[in-house]
A and B are shown apart, each in its own frame.
Chain A
Amino acid sequence: MQEKKYFTRMGDGSIVHMTEAEIREDMKAGMEDAVSRGKISPLTDEEFEHLYEIITMPGVIVGVEPGKQVVTTSDSGSDKINTKCGIPTDRAINAMLHERILGCDSVDIGYSDYNFKTVKGVAKREASVLKHALNRTTMPLFYGAMPNLGFYTKPDGPVDNWAVLLPEGKIKEAMAAQEEAVELAVKDILYVAEQMHDVGADGINLDTSGAAGDADFLVSLKATEQIKERFPDLHVEIGMAGEFVLGMHGKLKYDDVRLAGLYPHKQVKLAEKAGASIFGPVVNTNCNKSFPWNLARVCTFIKACTEVTEIPIHANAGMGVCGVPMCENLPTDAVSRVAKALIEICKIDGL
């Protein structure tokens, strides 16, 4: 008799059928990869078995027990109805759609060019959209954008491009350019935060932090610190770009900790120190590996993060992160298994 095979997926979303032994082997390899890279503890035998059950349980959509539900935040949430679905609605209306139709617990108003440098020029107008939304919705609303440090480089921005300088061997110049860009970006974020605070925003979402490397992550930490100093009632969520802070600069520190090379369980301690209310860790999905490999790796990293944090953790579980496959139309079998595993094994506070 042929051995039973389970329906699952690859990291790119394509369907694959695997035996119990194959699934367990991939889970073990994924977990060991996280342990080795993050220098963190593996899942316990009980957690490993529970994860195997989640991956192989029957049904397309799986869920948590009643009472175990968590809350949600988003990135560029209010604009996705327009940019991703092509539906021409106002973003204040989109916030209401998220609240009353999609059942979200919060959403962020964000510009279609989702970065603070671009928003700076239209911040007052963006604040008007947020104000309309705040008047009509009950749930908390953020203003969200990316620090996106790459936008500060020539020819579009004011500082020299470190991606050009580095291959030329101009290391000191590349480091100086990044340090200059950090100060400019923090200033822009503070300006935007001030406009949003003025209309009563519940929070600022610093999304995709660290996308341009350690200097980019430093921007989020410094901006959070300064937002909390100037506007103590304006709360900050820091969401990461990737699982690992790239050392594009290499020597930048925050609170005497070198940023390059930090994994989520170390990143969160700095977010906490800076004053963030919520931290959104990322674990990258590997398209060439199976869903069981990816999810076991994700659970190992995120559990290490929730074990050390004192602030709520909202794991990033969208396309291509935290085990969710890298594809535009997300399969609910994978997404619901990711959510269940993150809640039940990793004890996250939100998604």
Chain B
Amino acid sequence: MRMQLAHKMKIDEAKKYVAEKLNVTIEELCDVVTMTDVREELGIGLGHVEPCAEANIGMESKFRIAELLGIEINSVERFKERAGIK
């Protein structure tokens, strides 16, 4: 979705780009079980959240997603500006 918005990528190109960045296959990228592990390991957001170190969600996940995918996320950029870390 973010690659469609930021770079107007069609779905196949966007999936390929993200799968390569996350080091998974396209089949795995669309798989809830695989991606739960990958998401937890990389701290990029989960559907179920319990307050432990690995269970990132929201802003902290978006910081990591921006870095992993090599894109800027507007809300992350605003957060940095307003927190004085940019």
Contact = CB atoms under 8 A, between A and B. Distances in A.
Contact of B30 (A67, A202, A350): A67
B11 A138 contact: no
Contacts of B10: 312, 349
B1 A201 contact: no
B62 A312 contact: no
A141 B79 CA distance: 15
Indicate the size class of the contact surface on chain B: 20 to 34
A103 B46 CA distance: 10
Interface in A50-72: 66-71
B8 A70 contact: no
A135 B59 contact: yes
B23 interface: no
A190 interface: no
A70 B5 contact: no
B5 A200 contact: no
B8 A277 contact: yes
Interface in B27-53: 27, 29-31, 44-45, 47-49
Interface in A182-201: 197-201
Contact of A235 (B6, B11, B14, B49): B6
Contacts of B78: 198-200
The winner among A139, A201, A349 for most chain B CB atoms within 10 A is A349
A174 interface: no
A202 B4 contact: no
A120 B82 CA distance: 25
B77 to A, nearest CB: 7
Q: Which of B1, B10, B27, B76 gathers most chain A CB within 10 Å?
A: B1
B11 A70 contact: yes
A193 to B, nearest CB: 12
Interface in A129-156: 134-141
B11 A71 contact: yes
A140 B61 contact: no
| Most chain A beta carbons < 10 A, residue from B10, B72, B79 | B10
Contacts of B1: 71, 73, 105-106, 139-140, 350
A99 B47 CA distance: 7
A202 B78 CA distance: 11
Q: How large is the interface on A (under 10, 10 to 19, 20 to 34, 35 or more residues)?
A: 35 or more
B26 interface: yes
Contacts of B62: 138
B61 A138 contact: yes
Nearest to A138: B45
Of B61, B74, B76, chain A has the most CB atoms within 10 Å of the CB of: B74
Contacts of A311: 8
A68 B11 CA distance: 9
A100 B75 contact: no
Contact of A202 (B29, B48, B57, B73): B73
A310 interface: yes
Nearest to A231: B74
Interface string B7-28: 0111100100000000000110
Contacts of B49: 100
A135 B44 CA distance: 14
Given A106-B1, A138-B65, A140-B1, A201 B58 contact: no
Interface in A85-127: 99-101, 103, 105-106
A233 interface: yes
Contacts of A348: 11
Contact of A200 (B2, B44, B76): B76
7 contacts: A67-B29, A67-B30, A69-B30, A103-B47, A136-B57, A138-B65, A140-B1
Given A234-B74, A277-B8, 18 more contacts: A67-B30, A69-B30, A99-B47, A105-B1, A135-B59, A136-B57, A199-B75, A202-B73, A202-B75, A235-B6, A277-B5, A278-B4, A278-B5, A312-B4, A312-B9, A312-B14, A349-B14, A350-B1
